[in-house]
Structure 1
Amino acid sequence: MSAKVPASPRFAYKGDRLKPLRAFCQTARLGSISRAAEALFLSQPAVTLQLQALEREFGARLLERSGRRISLTREGQELYELARPLVEGLDGLDGAFRERVRGLDAGELNVAAGSSTILYLLPKIVEAFRATHPEVRLTLHNVTGAGGLDLLRSDAVDLAVGSMLDVPADLSYEPVYRFEPMLITPRNHPLAQKAELELQDLSPYGLILPPQRLTTYRLVDLVFQQNRVPYTVALEVGGWEVIKQYVAMGLGISIVTSICLTEADRERLATRSLARYFPSRSYGVVVRKGKYLSPHARAFTELIRPALFEREDYYANGQSER
């Protein structure tokens, strides 16, 4: 008969590795085996056996006695830094889980959106949502571009509402409505009275545009370049409300999306559709693929469509105020 190969040492505690690691972390934190045993409701010999077994497994001395206090060796310090977040995370798992479940029921909803979406599109949606879900804490995160995508991917927000031109493969975008590109001028501007508006008619007048890093500026530049029409930028400034104010003051003209045009703008601005030259902008809901939407998130998205349709007739189909 062939000789038996000696079996590798087996330690019973390996069946539950959390116990010796918890004993080790408590001893390191309290500096005493007896105090650690008291905190864990164990006997001091039981904690000592767990610590000894842990040192045998790792093949290193983890603790050393300094007077009446126990301190960590260099190897013990390394293990403590690795083990502590694991032990604390597992010990706090029940409470964290209950908090998450309570959040699903009691309600917390995080929505990412740009300034124009928050200002022009979401007010009635938020109002309706608050009326039907007063117990839900709603947070609107004012972000644009990559910032909103980062929040979605890290699950810092449940969903995003806004406009997207290029949709990454890991996200899902459901466009709900499209807003026309509009020329805005002062009411007494020559372009406001022109019967047929051509793109080259805009060349003599300085444009007021958002910053170059934003999609609107790049889109305007692309359309003028493709049509070989020269243009000038009189002023570059952020915020549709600021742009509309400066146009009303006669400082230039601008090209905006009709989402930002309100009833109050009828009195100070003339608007002309530029759908012949510029694409419309879609607005809708963006979510991370595979993400489970809470009932609150689904309820919020269901409110978007009727709220948008209330704006359908105002500046749609090339309507203009002259």
Structure 2
Amino acid sequence: MALNVHQLHIFYTVAERGSFSAAAQTLHMTQPAVTMQVQALEERFGTKLLNRTTKRLELTEAGLRLLPQARKAVELMRDTDLMMVQYIEELKGRLQFAASLTIGEYVLPRLIGPFLRKFPDISVDMKVMNTTEIIDAVAHQGLDFGIIEAPCDVPGFDAQPVMDDELLLIAPANHPFASRDQVTLEEAIREPMVLREKGSGTRQIMGDELQRHGVTENELRVVSEFGSTGAVKSAVEAGLGLSLLSVWTIKHELALGLLKPVSIAGVNFRRQFFSVRLQSSLLPMPAVALLNELRELSHE
């Protein structure tokens, strides 16, 4: 009997998710169907792969040996998808995914248009959520993937860089900094600051980089915090303070001359956006195509 790659994928999903029920939800299968496929794989090899206890599943010695090979098979299928999408012009289907606030409101609307013109038979359903909500939605609500603003180290998830980004110090057009291309870190932290809320990807990147330079957030003159980038920009324009925002979010204001970006000498707020998916899932071809297109468009 030939080895069934689909059964390997199911076994890998069960092992990664830790239960037949969780694997069934991930694979959009019934739990009995998942159990039957794993049993068929065990019959093929003539050995138990999983010990089923009342509390949890445990891999047998045979299962532990098979798991890395199953992982390679799943990865090979993903790589094959990525290769073949370059040759398939007529992709169809509904693509469901989520993006964090900055990406969903300011980045993707500019980039999805060219993708949909290239693949007119694909429809996009994008939800805007915070990172925690995205992880939950991908794990439990059937979304294909998410795009977030920081690396993801959640067990069972795979994160891959998909786009580059940079935070810039921004000042209103009438601020003394607006006539300068660069300021020192000491000058910057003396200014009143208007920031995104704690827990946002933007705030995390800012805090991590400042800490690398020996500056804690307690040393900043934070006069206001807002839960949206639009509110932060409006506050900066009104002269409430300076801020650090993604270069993607301020293109319109820069073009109108409402805001001025200023670099901070020796400080680099570059980061990457990441696509996240369950390790045990296979992305549909439209998702592979979109992520590949975003990588290309964002570097043009």
TM-score of Structure 1 vs Structure 2, range by shorter chain: 0.5 to 0.7
- Distance in 2 between residues matched to 1:223 and 1:212, nearest whole Å: 15
Superposition deviation, residue 252 in structure 1: 0.8
Larger Rg: 1
> Is 1:252 aligned to 2:241, yes or no?
yes
- Distance in 2 between residues matched to 1:297 and 1:259, nearest whole Å: 22
Residue of structure 2 equivalent to 1:280? 270
Residue of structure 2 equivalent to 1:165? 151
Superposition deviation, residue 161 in structure 1: 1.9
Q: For 1:274-304, what per-residue CA distance to the aligned partner results, in whole angstroms no more than 9, with x for missing partners?
A: 4833441201322221311212111211210
- Distance in 2 between residues matched to 1:289 and 1:122, nearest whole Å: 24
Residue of structure 2 equivalent to 1:108? 94
Residue of structure 2 equivalent to 1:199? 185
The 8 Å contact of residues 98 and 145 in structure 2, kept in 1 or not, is answered as yes
The 8 Å contact of residues 95 and 125 in structure 2, kept in 1 or not, is answered as yes
Structure 1: which amino acid aligns with 2:119? H
Superposition deviation, residue 106 in structure 1: 5.8
5+ long unaligned stretches in structure 1: 1-88, 94-104, 311-322
Q: What pairs with 1:16-165 in structure 2 (closer than 5 Å)? A: 107-154=93-140, 156-165=142-151
Residue of structure 1 equivalent to 2:287? 297
Superposition deviation, residue 236 in structure 1: 0.9
- Distance in 2 between residues matched to 1:275 and 1:239, nearest whole Å: 27
Query: Normalising by structure 1, what TM-score?
Result: 0.58
What secondary structure does 1:188 align onto? coil
Residue of structure 2 equivalent to 1:27? none
Identity %: 21
> Is 1:306 aligned to 2:285, yes or no?
no
Superposition deviation, residue 228 in structure 1: 4.1
Q: For 1:80-136, what per-residue CA distance to the aligned partner results, in whole angstroms no more than 9, with x for missing partners?
A: xxxxxxxxx99xx9xxxxxxxxxxx96221011012112222123321332243333
Higher strand share: 2
Distance 1:279 1:293, change over 3 A: same
The 8 Å contact of residues 171 and 243 in structure 2, kept in 1 or not, is answered as yes
Structure 1: which amino acid aligns with 2:260? A
- The worse-fitting range, judged by mean Cα deviation, of 296-305 and 215-224 is 215-224
Backbone CA RMSD of aligned residues: 2.7
The 8 Å contact of residues 149 and 201 in structure 2, kept in 1 or not, is answered as no
- Distance in 2 between residues matched to 1:191 and 1:147, nearest whole Å: 37
The structure showing larger relative contact order (alpha-carbon pairs under 8 Å, at least 6 residues apart) is: 2
What secondary structure does 1:303 align onto? helix
Structure 1: which amino acid aligns with 2:287? A
- Distance in 2 between residues matched to 1:203 and 1:298, nearest whole Å: 42
- Distance in 1 between residues matched to 2:222 and 2:253, nearest whole Å: 26
Distance 1:185 1:117, change over 3 A: same
Distance 1:194 1:300, change over 3 A: closer
- Distance in 1 between residues matched to 2:201 and 2:176, nearest whole Å: 28
What secondary structure does 2:224 align onto? strand
Structure 2: which amino acid aligns with 1:231? L
Residue of structure 1 equivalent to 2:214? 227
> Is 1:261 aligned to 2:250, yes or no?
yes
Superposition deviation, residue 157 in structure 1: 0.8
Structure 2: which amino acid aligns with 1:296? P
Distance 1:140 1:235, change over 3 A: same
The 8 Å contact of residues 158 and 278 in structure 2, kept in 1 or not, is answered as yes
5+ long unaligned stretches in structure 2: 1-28, 34-90
